[in-house]
Amino acid sequence: MCALAKAGAWSLNAAARAVIPCLWRGKYFSSGKEPVENNPVTPMLRHLMYKIKSTGPITVAEYMKEVLTNPAKGYYVYRDMLGEKGDFITSPEISQIFGELLGIWFVSEWMANGKSAAFQLVELGPGRGTLAEDILRVFSQLGSVLKNCEISIHLVEVSQKLSEIQALTLTEEKVPLERSAGSPVYMKGVTKSGIPISWYRDLQDVPKGYSFYLAHEFFDVLPIHKFQKTPQGWREVLIDIDPQGSDKLRFVLAPCATPAQAFIQHDETRDHVEVCPDAGVIIQELCQRIELTGGAALIADYGHDGTKTDTFRGFCGHKLHDVLIAPGTADLTADVDFSYLRRMVQGRVASLGPVTQQMFLKNMGIDVRLKVLLDKSAEPSLRQQLLQGYDMLMNPKKMGERFNFFALLPHQRLCGRSQQINAQQSKPSPSPVAGFSELAWQ
């Protein structure tokens, strides 16, 4: 039976979603953009100024890493920045349909890969756990399909605050911190539907079993290096103390070549580039794992294919925010360079995309799913929320074209060797990969 026909049985879960409009991070300029006049001296600014005074200007990557994930003062570590009351909104927080379609994608890939007896769902940067919750609801609803499969959930999260929220969302309990020294798992529990769930700070710590990986709006927060082409060649953009203003930071150019310059392509034609070596390390780790054990990775983010230049920006309270002002109080982000991710794959696995969110969700059957939910909801405010959510996700002027989907799959998946060979055929034909072409579900 078609999964989307079955989807009629799924519950409507729209009540908790955000009331639109809120600002999504893929956007460059919010209509309510206001200049930030004051520059409060935050604990993070004091820490950075001390650091710069001691050892000199820092790279943008070092700045981003400190500001976002410093264990004592980092922006991500102790707050919930998502949703209406936070700084930005993401697709899973807008509509339940987003996570449901991603859930179908994983089940579809699990089937196409030969229905393994067990798999791990590994999510990088799970935010509030909303996306995982929507995916798990699909897994429960498709229980008859997945009934003999042993599933476990593995969340990679650096934020103490968000991991607490994820635990409440997914297990409905406060999960205590693990005490056992030496274990990379810092929290462990069981989801509402009885699936074991574990938390890690680093992908490297997740067991290397057969896995499906998910990263939604994760790569854009990884630290980037920025470079400017000058008559003397490429120079890295650094952050220094501004001699003009007390307690102010400014961008400067490195006086000579810096080590990160090795990441710039020798035939680069842009005059400003951003490179994210941490993204390369994570892609290589994913490729190594998929090459070794199979599975797949689905990466969704806003980004470009090696064409954009200066995309580094900040968000605070649903407004664009100067990245150097009041560090630690605002989100910092940069567009994901999918051409760089593809290069980092180095042919070890197959990559698909990037395709636009609009195309991916359309191929996954978003229109059918919307209709099912609309038919089930009599309440006008819920119907309006569903329609507004659909528009936000799909409209090319909103998230539809700015956000992209990119997948990593074992080479065998695309040449059909993992399929059961049909006795009539000498060569099996692989089923198309859903989202990147229309969902075809048996």
The number of residues that bind ligand SAH (CB under 6 A) is 20
Amino acid at 316: C
Virtual CA dihedral for 355, 357, 360, 361, nearest 10 degrees?
A: -170
What is the distance between the alpha carbons of residues 123 and 141, in angstroms, rounded to a whole number?
20
Q: Count Cβ atoms within 10 A of the Cβ of residue 71 and give its class: 0-12 exposed, 13-18 middle, 19 or more buried.
A: exposed
Pull the structure tokens for residue 300: 């969704």
Of the residues 14, 146, 162, 273, which one makes contact with ligand SAH according to CB under 6 A: 162
Least distance CB 150 / ligand SAH (angstroms): 25
How many Cα neighbours within 13 Å face the side chain of 416? 11
Q: How far apart are CA 373 and CA 10, in angstroms?
A: 9
Toward ligand SAH, which CB reaches closer, 87 or 236? Answer: 87
Contact 90, 127 (CB under 8 A): yes
Nearer to ligand SAH, 127 or 410 (CB): 127
Burial class (CB in 10 A: 0-12, 13-18, 19+), 81: buried
- DSSP 8-state assignment for residue 177: B
User: Which lies closer to ligand SAH via its Cβ, residue 76 or residue 436?
Assistant: 76
The residues that bridge with 154 in the sheet, in sequence order, are 122, 198
**Which of 101, 138, 158, 283 is the binder for ligand SAH (CB under 6 A)?**
158
Scanning residues 91 to 120, which ones bind ligand SAH (CB under 6 A)?
Answer: 92-93
Contact range with ligand SAH by CB under 6 A, out of 125-133, 252-260, 285-293, 358-366: 125-133
Question: Going residue by residue from 54 to 93, which x/- string records binding to ligand SAH, judged by CB under 6 A?
Answer: --------------xx------x-----x-------x-xx
Among 59, 159, 191, 311, indicate the residue that binds ligand SAH (CB under 6 A). Answer: 159
C-beta closer to ligand SAH: residue 123 or 337: 123
Residue 198 in contact with ligand SAH, rule: CB under 6 A: no
Site for ligand SAH in 209-228 (CB under 6 A): 216-218, 221
| C-beta closer to ligand SAH: residue 136 or 158 | 158
Print burial letters for 418-428: b (CB count within 10 Å at least 16), e (below 16): bbeeeeeeeee
Name the residues that contact ligand SAH, by CB under 6 A.
68-69, 76, 82, 90, 92-93, 125-127, 131, 156-159, 162, 216-218, 221
